[in-house]
Every structure is written in C-alpha cells, then in structure tokens.
Structure 1
Amino acid sequence: MLGAAGAFIGMSVVAGLLVTAAVTPAIAVTGMAANNSIGVFEGLPEYLNVDQLAQPTTIYAKNGDQDVPLATFYSQNRLPVAFDQISQAAKDAAIAGEDPRFYTHGGVDIQGTVRGVLSTVAGGGVQGGSSITQQYVKNVLLQKCEALPVKTKEQKATYQQCVDDSTGVSPDRKVKEMKYAIGIEKKYTKDQILVGYLNIAGFGGTVYGIEAAAHYYYNTTAAALTPAQAASLIAIVNEPTSLKIDNPDSETNGAANGYAKNKERRDYILQKMYQYKRITKAQYDESVKTPIQPVITPSERGCQTAGGSAYFCDYVQKIILNDPTFGADEDTRASNFNRGGYKIYTSLDLQLQQVAESTINSYVPQAYDRADLGGVLVGVQPGTGRVLYMAQNKTYSQDPEILNQGKQYTSVNYATDQNYGGSNGFQVGSTYKVFTLAEWLKQGHSLNETVNANVRTYDQSKFKDTCPGAAWGGPWKPTNDSSGEEGIRSAQNATTNSINTAFVAMAYQLDLCEIKKDAEAFGVHTATGSPLDTNPASVLGTNNIAPLTMATAFAGIANNGMTCSPIAIDKIVDGNGKEIAPPATKCTQSVDPAIANTMAKALQGPIQNGTAANMNRTGKDMLGKTGTTDGNEQLWLVASTTKVAGAYWVGNISGHVDMRRIYPTHGTTPAIARTAVMRTMMTAAVGKYGGDDFPAAPDKLTRGVQVALPDLTGKTPDEAKSILTGLGLDSADGGPQDSVAPAGTISATDPAAGTQVSKGTVITLFTSNGSLVPVPNVVGQKYGDALAALTAAGFKVKTNGGNSPTATVQAQDPAGNAPAKPGTEVTLTLAAPAAPPTQGTGG
C-alpha cells in the first residue's frame, strides 16, 4: 500500500498498476480491448479544473444602517464551509463510511478498487471501490453538467450525455475518474480534498454540502454535529434518494419505522468509526441508541419569501437576468444567479417600504368585487436613481395553482417595464403634460404667457410633428375635466389646474416630435419598449408607461434637470468574495437647469392650490402633478422633493371602471384618496431624507419679456392684430360690445392699454358695435340750452326739481362725454334762478 507521500512521488507507477490490476479485469468481462482503456487513461488530461461550487444567492435590503436578507435563490442549497468549521465527527464519519484508507492512498484505493472489480466480474457491471477523491471527481464533473441549460430538447440531450459520462457505469468512465483522482491528489492536500468532498456532496433533494445538510435536517451547524447526527447525514450520501430523512410518510425509510434504512447505514458508519478508533466505546453505545429524530428546517427560496417587498425582489432578479454582465445569454445568467453565491446589496429602504406597503394596503384592496383594481407606490432618489421603495396591492406568487385562486395574487410587477417582470404599462394622463411644459419653456415662452383655452375643434393635420412617419388628420375636439376651465389661461394656471384645452393650445404652437424627445430626455419610454406616440392626444397622456419611469422623470425635474436612470443594486459580492460591478445609473442633463427650475416652480402650483392641494404638509419644497385618463380609468399622482421622488398609480388592470364612482376603502373614491395616499408617503420620505428649496426660476421664464400694451382704440381688427404681432403678442376675438368708437373698430382690450404683459400673451380684442354716443357736457349751461343740446343728441332729460330756463346746470348724470345709448335719461342738478334786479324810488 502506498502512503500519501509515496503516492505523490510514484503516481505514474500507481497509474500503471491501476490500469493493469483494476481496469483490465472489468474490460475482460465487457469485451473491450485493454489497450483501448490504456489509451484512454494516457490520453486524459492529468488535472481536473474544479469550478466554484453552486451556492445560494441572497438579496439584501436596507434597514437603517443594516443589510438584512430579503430572499435567497438556489438550484442547490449549499453553504460552503472551511475545514475547521466542520466537526471532527463529520470528517471521521465520511472517512470511516466511505474511504477508511483516505489518508494513506494516492487518490485511488487499490484494495477497494480490486474489491470493486471482483464485484464487477461477478455482477456484470463496474461497481464500488471509489475513494473519497474519486467521489469528489465524480461530483465535480456532475457539477459541470448541472450548470448546463436544459430548456430545449437538444440541451436536455446534451445534459443527459454529460451526466452519463460523469456517473454512468462503464470501464472508460472509471478509468477517467481514476486519472482525474490521481491528478487531484497532486494538486490539493488531503484536508482540501476532504472539505471539498463534504461541501460538494448531495444530501438529498436540493440539499448539498454538510453545512446545508446540518441546517436542513437537524437545525444545527456542521461544526456542532454529534457523531450520531454526522453518521446519519453521511449515510444519506450513499443513497440520497432512499436514505434522506425528511419524509416521515415514506414506507421504507419514514418516521414510523424510525427511518430504518438510514439508521442501518448510520450504525454501520458508527461501527466503522469505533473500529478505526475515531470514537470511544461509550460514544458508540450512546450514538447507536440515539433515535433518528430530524428537525427539518427548510431554507425557503424565491421572492415569495420577501413578503410585500417581493415585487422589488423580482425586479432585482430581472435586472441580473437581463444584464450581459452576468452571462452571455439568459440561460447562463439564470445559472449564475441560482448557483453563483451572489450577495446582492440593494437600495430598498425597508423603513419607507413599510410605509408604502401599509399605505397601499389601506387604500387599495387586493381584491374588489366591483373592479380589477391595481395600485403601486414606487420611489426613487434624485441624483442617484436608487429605487427606495416599491409596493403594490397584490400578493406575489409564481405558482400557477396559487395564481388561479383569485385576483389578489399575481406575478406581474405593475411598477416596472415588461422586460423586468412588469405589465404593459398604463396611460399616464395629465402627468405627461410636464413634457409639453418643458418644450414650451425651451421655445422661449413663459409661465405668465397665456393661451386660448376655449373648447374648440382642431384639424389634427395642422399640428406640427417632425418625427418620421408622423401623419395626423381629422377633427379633434379636446375637452376639460371640469366645466369653467375655458378662457384665456396662463401656462402656470393651466399647470396648476391641469387644463387640457390650454395644454393642447400650447402644443399647437410647438412640435409634437420635440415634446416626445423631451419626454425621452427625462428617461420616459413605454413599458413595452415600443416608440412613444406623438399624435396630438399624446400630450394629454395616452402613452402606456410604468410608474417607476414616471417617478424617475419627476426626480429629474427636481434634480435641476439631471435625470438618473433607476438602479436597485448598490453592491454585489460573488461566491468567492470578489466584488462585481453592479449595473450603474446613467445620468443625463435632460433640460437646461433654468428650464427644470421653472418647471419645478410651475409644478408647485398643483400641490399648493391646484389639483393636489393640501398634499404637502412637510414645509419642504415639493412639486407634483395629477393624472386622470378618459373615463377616470387610471389615476396618477407623481411628486418629488430634491431628495425623494414618488409615483402613485391606481386603476384598472382590466375592465373600464370609473375610479370616481367606486368606494373601495375609507368611504371615498380612489380619485379623492390619492392626495391622502401621497401625503402619507411623501411625509415619510421627507421625514427620513429631508429636502432642500428648489432653485429660483429665472424671471424671463416666469414673467417673460415684458412689453407695454398700446392703446388700440379706433383701430381696425386687422390693424390691431398686426400691431400685437409686431410686439410678440397674440390676440383673441372678444366679440362686439357697446362703444362710442366707430362700429367695427377696436373699442377696448383685455388687459387694458398701458398694462405690462409678457411676450406671447393673448390680448382679447373687443370691437365696437357703434351703439353708444358721448353724452353732451352741459354743466354750467342754462337749463334751456342744456335741454336743447341733450334732446338734439337723443337723450331724455330729468331735473332734480324746477325747470326754469335760466337755471344753471350744476351737475349731470351720466357725466359729460360718458358713452351712453341714445334715449338714456340724463339727470340734471339745477341751481335756483337768479332774482331780477331791484329798481330804486326817489324820495
């Protein structure tokens, strides 16, 4: 028998002896030529590359300063440990039960091999005799097979061939195994091989390695295993399927019969441990008397174990599966994810996540008899793109049986894009108006500038759209959410009150293609990956977009126009302790900071006194915008401080239920409740992260370039419009009015002449119908003269008493030169007539 040292020196001799003594008898039985197997032996590479063992991947979330496990994934439940983290009992059990001469042979136990060959000759197949090193080789080869994809028929065939080559009963395989074992012993120490074997061995089902086995079967560690427990686990390695001890109902190896098959093998190992003086007689006696009583402690895996954070967990998993950093194709990435032992440290803030989950659960029921109702709260950090929370009103599951139990279950992540486990997205309504506002400001318009928001019919072909293939036509008559929103409206007023007709009028002056490009600059895209629509109605939010995308865009507005793509992973450490660079955010200057800061100013309007009034009670600057689609089927509220941006969506997953006509919770409608939902969420966000003041918006973008409105009275409408155009102002027809001006000429303007207005402002022009004339000014005249003048001008006359022709008019109403319709009664205030002079008498 060769010793360990001699094995390293005389390995070539051993190899020759093995081929002659061990292989040839088996070949004789099978009819294979001996020189063929010798050729196989000599042609094999000497060393076997030992790949990293399959290990569980764990996703972590943030709880304050602590990283806490969120979910674990594995194809093989394995927790590799070092040599000194395994009890001596487990090491001794493995050697005594599987390879008593492990520390004295050179990789192949000649005595065991010869015994196995003799068994082969008698039984007709290659059997037994494998040393621990050979078993380690077999498991290493099998691990390589387990990493192969098995989706297609061809892949399955390749996988099975690999398994057969690694574990099949054939002389050639045995020869390969021996050669590799010899090479392994040259490269690694005995202790390294033993710990490698104990870490790689299968212990039934998906349990691999002594540490995972100790946890699963006995709720302990490999370091704390007793001789009885260790021998019971090593027994499983011999026949993992029939000797595992997690099925109490098994007829042959269940709890009812004391797990008899496992106990039989266990006691055999204990006897060998005693025989080789690895345990005392007392330990042996105590161990064999110990009943097999497993404490099954499953290691749950998958995102369903993450509770309300499951959809964020699923998002992280999809990030890995979609990123070429983690493998050339999806199959490789999936294998690496489930086997690579990654520690994935994410951006999820469990404190905000808890608020999001409790809030969404309070306001949006998982199942509702009147609607297929969905809801999402998702938040990101401006400047970093880190996703801080992601909650929705469903219970996550991938199990078809569970998914069929009701609408409260789904595997679809409504917060994300389709490629990341999400849905097809949802129409975003008026939240999309911010991109028209961006283009409005980019083109030199201001928040004070006004447009005609009256309801009217547009010829869609008249809208400018320079995107390739754009061709819109036909009449379109957009309306508003509420009555009374028409008239001349400033861009600020239109934003504060979300006036559809005003934004359509703004878009009519712009390029629809540029509005789309502005949205894209803020990271906006459809959830399915199709191009954003640019038809005129798109400015009111008809594109289907994911909530995470809208939160990201608003974060860009609050971040001086710098939009950072969302990321969910802060750090990744692989199974070897090496850091892997996670997908990084990409920050883009979406618009000039001055434009973004003006957008932020405008978007404070809806929260301060507009469609989301009373949402912000934090005392910090906050911007936001509501969104409501046709029929009130989808509702949105997106908001941001300088530190946290959040999006809330609630609406129909399927069907067409009006969100203003149902009362699912709190005795109110989702339309009314959305302000309360986001108030709760953003208050918590500010409480945790704070918030800064938004930078001041430049005057030229808020007030615009100011011009003095000239007096246009008496001008023809064409002359007045020409003058206004020259000043950079627009005009609207206010209709005819009573005026002293000649009929058909301008009688008045709104604003009035002399007012300072922003360029682009719409000036309302009123035309005279010529129905008024100036009242003659008769103050100071004798009543007789005044009566004649007023009567001649067509007015009626009334006095305050008296009608002496010589009385003087002290006052009149209407006043002199005031416009009035002929026939109007003029009231005169007369002074008493003067007394005649007195004639004197002589005396």
Structure 2
Amino acid sequence: MGKKRSGGGLSPTQQAAKFLGVSALAGAVLAGIALPAAGALGLAAKGSVEEFDEIPANLKRPPLSQRTTILDSEGGTIATVFSRDRTLVDLKDISPYMQKAIIAIEDSRFYEHGAVDVKGILRALNENAQSGTVSQGASTLTQQYVKNVFVEEAGNDPTKVAEATQQTLGRKIRELKYAIQVEQELGKKQILENYLNITFFGQQAYGVEAASQRYFSKSAKDLELDEAALLAGIVQSPSRYDPVNDSEEARKRRNIVLNRMVATRDITQEEADAAKKKPLGLEVSRPREGCITATRGAGFFCDYVRNAFLNDPAFGETREDRVKIWDKGGLKIRTTLDPQAQESVQTAIKDNVRQSDQVATAVTIVEPGTGKILGMGQSRPYGSDISKGELSYNLSVDKRMGGGAGYQPGSTFKPIVAAAALEQGKSPTQKYASPYEMPYPSPVDTCSGQWTNTRNEKLTNENEKEVGPYGMKEATAKSVNTYYVELISDIGICPVTSMAEKMGVNRADGEQMAQAPSIALGTQEMSPLTMAAAYATFASRGIYCTPIAIESVIDADGKSMPVPKTKCNRAMSTKTADTVNTLLKGVVEDGTGKQAGLGSRPSAGKTGTTDFRYAAWFVGYTPNMAGAVWVGDPEHKRQMTDITIGGNYYPKVYGGEVPGPIWKAAMSGALAGKPAPDFNLVDIPKDKPKDHEKDEADDEDQKPGKPEKPGGGGNPWPDFTIPPDVLGGNGNGGGNGGGNGGGRWPQPR
C-alpha cells in the first residue's frame, strides 16, 4: 500500500488551495504557478505539503548578514569586513519615495491582497499562456521576501542557493505557505521593512541603505524621487539594469518605474516627467571591505584575526559553523592590537625596508605573561598584485594561520638550547673546546634513538678567530656555533625539542621538529610570531603564554560571545629564565646585538643569520614586551649579499646590522611612556680573554669571516647527493618557496 497523504487524502494542489482559501480552480492555477506547460519546463513537485509545518523559526525576522567591525584594543576601527554589504535600517529611515517605488513596480496591490494575489496570478497566467513563455511572474512582495530569506540562509553555498531558487512546484508551494504565515505574524509595514533590508540591488549592495550609499553616496532616508525609482528598478535584474555598467538600460527601467508610480497614483504625471528629465546622477562609492582596507598597516593582523576566529572551536563546534557565523557578520571584534605599538612597528618598517626592495621584513610584538599580540606588520603590503610588491600571505605567522612555510631562525634558536641545558643541570660556566671547525659529534641521543654522523659532516664558526674554550656566557654573546653543537650533543636532542615544545616553538609548516644536532643552529623553519612568543617566556621568568589576538566579540544581537583565552604554563624554572636573561642581556651590551640596544632601558635578545644569508633575525625583549624581526626574501631565493635595503648598501647582511635597528626602532616607540623594569639577573663569571682575541666582538654579526658553509634553503650543489641522515629535517624552505633546508649541507667535493 502507498503512503497515506496528509490532509485527508487531498492532493498537494488541493491542500494549497485549502490553505489559501480559494477555489479548486484557483488552486489548479496555483499549481501551475502561472507557467505554461509546467511539465515541459521540467517542473516537478519535489517536496510535499507535509513540510508546511516545518517553518523556520527565524523566517519572520531572519538574522541578515551584515558588516563586521574589527577594532584595536582601544576601540579604534582597524577594518570592516563582510560577506554581504548591508546596513539594517528602520522603515522610518527609508525615503517614502523608495517605499512607494518598490511597491509600484514589484507589487502594486501589496496593501490590498493577502500573501497571494490571485488576480495577479490569473493575469500572469493569461499573459504567459498567450506568449508561450514565462513573460510575467505573479509573486507578491511577501513571496519575494520569503524567497530572499531562503537565499540568505543558503549563504555562499552555491548548491544551497540553487535549491532555494529552483523552479519546482514543491518549492513554490512551500513559499506560499510561508508567505501566509509571515503575513499573519508581521503585517505589511514590517514585511516591507524586512524586504527592503534583504533585497539585492547589485554592485555588492544588499539592502536599500547599502544600495543608496553605493550608487548615490547618501542615506536611504534622503533618496529623491528619481533616485528611488532607479533603485526600485534594479531589483528585477541587478545585472541587466546596473546603472554603472549600462546607464541607458537603467534609465529606461527608471522611467518605467516612474510610469507605474503615476498609474498607482503615488505621484503626478508632472512629477514623473520632471524626474525623467534628470540625469542618473550617480555618485558611486566603491565598497571598502576586507583586510586590504585595514588602517595602520594592520591588514595581515586583520587576516590573522579572521583565521583565529575560523580555527577556534570557541566560536563554533565545526569550521562550517564558524564560517556561517563569520559570513553572517554583524560582529564587533575587539582585538589585542595596541595602536601605539602598531604605529611604531609600521614606522620602523617604513624607515628601514622599502616595499620595492628585493627582500622584505616582518615584525611582531607580543606581551609577556598574557600572550597578547600588540603589533604585527611587514614591508610587503596586503594584496594580490605581485607587480606592486604586494603579498597575500602573512610573513609573521604559521602556515595554518595564513602564513608561509616559515624561515630558518639561525642563532636565535640557541637560547632555547641554553634553557634546555640549564634545566638539565648544566652550569652557565660550562666550557667546551669550541674549535673553529669540527665534525658533528656522534652518536647523539634523540627522543627515539641516536643520531649518527655517517657522512663525517663538519661545521665551522663564523670567524676563524672564534676558538675556545668558551663558557656559555661568552659563547652566547659571540654566537659560537661549535659551542652550541657540543652543548646539544652533550645533553641530547630530546631535552631541546621538549623545551621548544613547552615554549610554543614549532615549525611553521606544521611538520615535526628534526632530531639532529643541527637544530641548535636554527635550521628548522619558524615564524616571527612563534619566536616572539617564545622569547616572551624568558621575559616572564619562565612562563609561556599562547599568542592571542581577540579580546572580546559582540554578536549581531548585542550579546557577548565566548572567546578563547591564552593558555599559560611554566616552561622552565625562574632560575633558568633569569640565567638566560643574563646571557641575552650580554648579547645586547657586549655581543652581536649591540646595535639593537635600547639605551638606559634594560633589554635582552639574540641575533641570527642563516647560511647563504637567506634570512637575518633579531629577537629580543624587555620584561614587559617581546618582539621578533625577520629580514629576507619571502620566496627564499635571494641571498642577502651585495644588496641594497632601505636605500643602504650591504656587502653582507647580519642579524645585528639590519634586523637589530628595526627591532630597536619598533620597540622604542612601542615602549615610549611605559615603565622600564629591570631583569632579575644572576652572577655568571666572565671568561678570561684569550691571547688571540681583540676587545671588539669578532662574531657572526660584527665582522664577516670566511665564506659561510651552506646550511639550508636549497642545495647549492645539485649534483651532490645528500643522504637523509645528514639532513636535519625536510625543511621546505621559507615562505611560499625555498629549497630543502632543514640541516647543514656537507662541504662540496
């Protein structure tokens, strides 16, 4: 037996007629939806009247997509983003001309009929039957509103949009039922208001307020007769009657609307004639939307906020849920961005690296103890025009948050090795032979076994005069490579990767950290935000806090949404952190980072320069602010030798020479007017000077030595096969490009 129909055995057509309170004949007309030969047009009754009772609760007043405003920590606007440009307005704030024009052209009997205009259907049926095509529709304003609601709820999903607009009998019947309910519960004026707020007017403008601003740069309440008629005419076909792209078609359509307004006695013939003589009078305002419009160079921070929202379950159980909320918009998102810090970051970038330079810089500042991102910027602006030096990815963050594959941090990784060694009980006075050149020690313990130097791979210091023995303080100030490789080989690799994990240090591409002693020299690609947050751990005396960008979110209904909080954990003892702070303060005072010093304000940090000069870094901090500066080629192709940056020529770029001054300028402005607390230092005896050493620092960031050994970002000897056990990892280069990276290359034969 077949399934029993609901409604006492009535067919869908008869049920529709019953709901509408019209005759069976009119019901049959409704079943045809005023279309000739419905079957020939491929229309089918998909969906049944059984679904009539399944009316969406939000149909009466759906949450329409609106603009989202992203604010800095002081409430200033950073950017406005939207999926659909819309600003909701009350009916009283819409010009009476606009209200009359839309009714005249779309549903002249709006105030006379119910949800369905039977006379209109019969008239359309007659016209369509005579023409043999669908030349005239019969949907009332209420029915159009209902359809728009379903289109709105479909969002940006093309499949759902197609379902919401498909020409099927089932959809039309459901639309009629919903229209009846809306008429009963809202009333005419509210329906008109909702309709004018939801309708698409072309040129990315949804709703009459956005349309009025787009075409005439004025509010909807100020629309004149001719302007209102133009907008009302667009609705039927926003592309065909687009006044920006086809002024003649738009003018003809405007005049048709004016004629209809005369016919409905909303205006006189004289008023219509006068309006027809007016030019279109367009004063187009292009939509300024998205992170590309962000102020103070915060486009990439804005993009980071978006990614933070879409990636965090705090804003929705699934990514699909979060995307839907984001696209609906209407949010007010207050962020952690500090206006003073951001302005200082941008000024420091502008004064030192030009947009047109062969290389770029990225700067990020975070707050120790809270994880708040205070500033984020780069010399290549947000955009997609490569010819103008624009970039569409964020140089400061990991790949999953809109960044590239990261960059080798070089010697800025050494303090993490030092912290791991101190936690293992090593003394800061620990000495190693630290020769100028040596093979990698072997074997070395890893988390899962041992690393073996099967190729007898060697490493060198930057300068031939860097010959030990050295203690930790002097080796850190001079950035002695052989010292730190001996140190990691002594304690094993696992304590170092474990410390890195506790400090939030991970590869920017999401891959696992390599288990090789070369990681001590910074061979694993990382992002500036990662390094800034890691160094903030030292500043907060051992407490690591995950970076956060969002402080609060108010939804479209004015309600606060839950936001993710920073997660803080103790990564090391206060004694270890204080010891590292003492080591790194020495780098700024007497070592490779002297050009980054902040004068009387206590600071600490570390320089980093990768092999072949593909990247140079300075990562530093005060007790109340930490920042990272990277300089290099985003595509990891241009070596920084014989190069001009910011108008200054450099035979070779060092971490203390270019990134250091950028860091100093950015931090000086960001910290202006703020307290200047000191570190809790420990006493570390200084090594006695060696006979061969001079007073000045002969190190990787002060004086160039012999040509550096290659160490990442592409194999300089393509004919030389490098076995996997020599490489420190798969690398993947930096940014969106780069070579194999990961470890130290063997010397060419």
* TM-score higher than 0.5: yes
Residues 92 and 280 of structure 1: is their aligned pair in 2 closer, same or farther, counting only changes over 3 Å? Answer: same
Cα distance, 1:263 vs structure 2: 2.3
- Whether 1:118 aligns to 2:126 is yes
Tell me the residue number matched to 2:550: 569
Give the TM-score, by structure 1 length.
0.72
Deviation string 1:428-479 (CA, Å, 9 cap, x unpaired) is 11110111111222122333343332345346323232x1254322334332
Tell me the residue number matched to 1:266: 257
Give the TM-score, by structure 2 length.
0.81
Deviation string 1:597-629 (CA, Å, 9 cap, x unpaired) is 221121111111111114223422211111111
Tell me the residue number matched to 1:471: 451
Residues 66 and 18 of structure 1: is their aligned pair in 2 closer, same or farther, counting only changes over 3 Å? Answer: farther
Distance 1:38 1:498 in 2: 73
Residues 448 and 491 in structure 1, CA contact (< 8 A), matched pair in contact too: yes
Tell me the residue number matched to 1:380: 366
**Higher RCO, Cα 8 Å, sep 6+:** 2
- Whether 1:45 aligns to 2:25 is no
The one-letter code sitting in structure 2 at the alignment partner of 1:445 is K
The one-letter code sitting in structure 1 at the alignment partner of 2:255 is E
Show the 5 A alignment for 1:279-298: 286-298=274-286
The one-letter code sitting in structure 2 at the alignment partner of 1:378 is T
Distance 2:428 2:314 in 1: 45
- Whether 1:131 aligns to 2:140 is yes
Give the counterpart of 2:580 among 595, 599, 603.
599
Cα distance, 1:59 vs structure 2: 2.6
Tell me the residue number matched to 2:189: 191
- SS of 1:452's partner is coil
Residues 116 and 18 of structure 1: is their aligned pair in 2 closer, same or farther, counting only changes over 3 Å? Answer: farther
- SS of 2:71's partner is strand
Give the counterpart of 2:176 among 172, 175, 178.
178
Provide structure 1 residue ranges, at least 5 long, that are not aligned to the other structure: 1-10, 151-155, 254-258, 705-733, 735-843
Residues 449 and 703 in structure 1, CA contact (< 8 A), matched pair in contact too: no
Cα distance, 1:565 vs structure 2: 1.2
Tell me the residue number matched to 1:359: 348
- SS of 1:537's partner is helix
Distance 1:457 1:629 in 2: 19
Distance 2:475 2:450 in 1: 27
Give the counterpart of 2:22 among 17, 40, 48.
17
The one-letter code sitting in structure 2 at the alignment partner of 1:68 is T
- SS of 2:608's partner is strand
- Whether 1:93 aligns to 2:93 is no
Give the counterpart of 2:477 among 484, 496, 510.
496
Moved over 6 A (4+): 11-14, 36-39
The one-letter code sitting in structure 2 at the alignment partner of 1:489 is Y
Distance 2:127 2:113 in 1: 21
The one-letter code sitting in structure 1 at the alignment partner of 2:177 is K
Tell me the residue number matched to 2:668: 683
- Whether 1:319 aligns to 2:308 is yes
Tell me the residue number matched to 1:758: none
Deviation string 1:349-404 (CA, Å, 9 cap, x unpaired) is 34332332232233223334xxx423111111112212122221213223xxx33x
Tell me the residue number matched to 2:715: none
Distance 2:46 2:445 in 1: 81
Cα distance, 1:417 vs structure 2: 0.7
The one-letter code sitting in structure 1 at the alignment partner of 2:565 is A
Residues 440 and 459 in structure 2, CA contact (< 8 A), matched pair in contact too: no
Cα distance, 1:133 vs structure 2: 0.8
Deviation string 1:678-728 (CA, Å, 9 cap, x unpaired) is 21111112205443222344x6xx469xxxxxxxxxxxxxxxxxxxxxxxx
Structure whose CA Rg is larger: 1
Deviation string 1:309-342 (CA, Å, 9 cap, x unpaired) is 2222222222233334455655554444233333
Residues 438 and 460 in structure 2, CA contact (< 8 A), matched pair in contact too: no
* Most deviating of 524-533 and 122-131: 122-131
Residues 522 and 316 of structure 1: is their aligned pair in 2 closer, same or farther, counting only changes over 3 Å? Answer: same
RMSD: 3.1
Distance 2:585 2:516 in 1: 28
Deviation string 1:497-541 (CA, Å, 9 cap, x unpaired) is 222222223223212110111111110000011111231111111
The one-letter code sitting in structure 2 at the alignment partner of 1:59 is I
Residues 416 and 40 of structure 1: is their aligned pair in 2 closer, same or farther, counting only changes over 3 Å? Answer: closer
Cα distance, 1:496 vs structure 2: 1.8
Tell me the residue number matched to 1:506: 487
Distance 1:43 1:453 in 2: 80
Distance 1:663 1:137 in 2: 62
Deviation string 1:648-670 (CA, Å, 9 cap, x unpaired) is 11123345655354333353434
The one-letter code sitting in structure 1 at the alignment partner of 2:452 is W
Distance 1:190 1:25 in 2: 22
Residues 241 and 455 of structure 1: is their aligned pair in 2 closer, same or farther, counting only changes over 3 Å? Answer: closer
Tell me the residue number matched to 2:334: 345
Residues 438 and 482 in structure 2, CA contact (< 8 A), matched pair in contact too: no
- SS of 1:212's partner is helix
- Whether 1:426 aligns to 2:407 is yes
Tell me the residue number matched to 1:160: 162
- Whether 1:588 aligns to 2:574 is no
Residues 21 and 12 of structure 1: is their aligned pair in 2 closer, same or farther, counting only changes over 3 Å? Answer: closer
Distance 1:238 1:163 in 2: 14
The one-letter code sitting in structure 2 at the alignment partner of 1:436 is V
Cα distance, 1:571 vs structure 2: 2.0
Cα distance, 1:415 vs structure 2: 1.0
- Whether 1:627 aligns to 2:601 is no
Residues 95 and 555 of structure 1: is their aligned pair in 2 closer, same or farther, counting only changes over 3 Å? Answer: same
Cα distance, 1:220 vs structure 2: 0.8
The one-letter code sitting in structure 1 at the alignment partner of 2:561 is I
- SS of 1:396's partner is coil
Residues 437 and 289 of structure 1: is their aligned pair in 2 closer, same or farther, counting only changes over 3 Å? Answer: same
Distance 1:607 1:464 in 2: 33
Tell me the residue number matched to 2:292: 304
Cα distance, 1:289 vs structure 2: 4.2
Show the 5 A alignment for 1:138-149: 138-148=147-157
- Whether 1:394 aligns to 2:380 is yes
- SS of 1:525's partner is coil
Residues 19 and 177 in structure 2, CA contact (< 8 A), matched pair in contact too: no
Distance 1:443 1:270 in 2: 86
Q: Percent identity?
A: 32
Residues 526 and 543 in structure 1, CA contact (< 8 A), matched pair in contact too: yes
Residues 26 and 117 in structure 1, CA contact (< 8 A), matched pair in contact too: no
Cα distance, 1:29 vs structure 2: 5.5
Tell me the residue number matched to 2:622: 641
Provide structure 2 residue ranges, at least 5 long, that are not aligned to the other structure: 1-15, 692-749
Residues 18 and 629 of structure 1: is their aligned pair in 2 closer, same or farther, counting only changes over 3 Å? Answer: farther
Distance 2:360 2:207 in 1: 43
Residues 262 and 269 in structure 2, CA contact (< 8 A), matched pair in contact too: no
- SS of 1:572's partner is strand
Show the 5 A alignment for 1:59-98: 59-62=70-73, 65-74=74-83, 76-98=84-106
Residues 69 and 539 of structure 1: is their aligned pair in 2 closer, same or farther, counting only changes over 3 Å? Answer: closer
Residues 151 and 161 in structure 2, CA contact (< 8 A), matched pair in contact too: no
Residues 523 and 161 of structure 1: is their aligned pair in 2 closer, same or farther, counting only changes over 3 Å? Answer: same
Cα distance, 1:124 vs structure 2: 4.3
- SS of 2:563's partner is coil
Tell me the residue number matched to 1:222: 220
Cα distance, 1:673 vs structure 2: 2.8
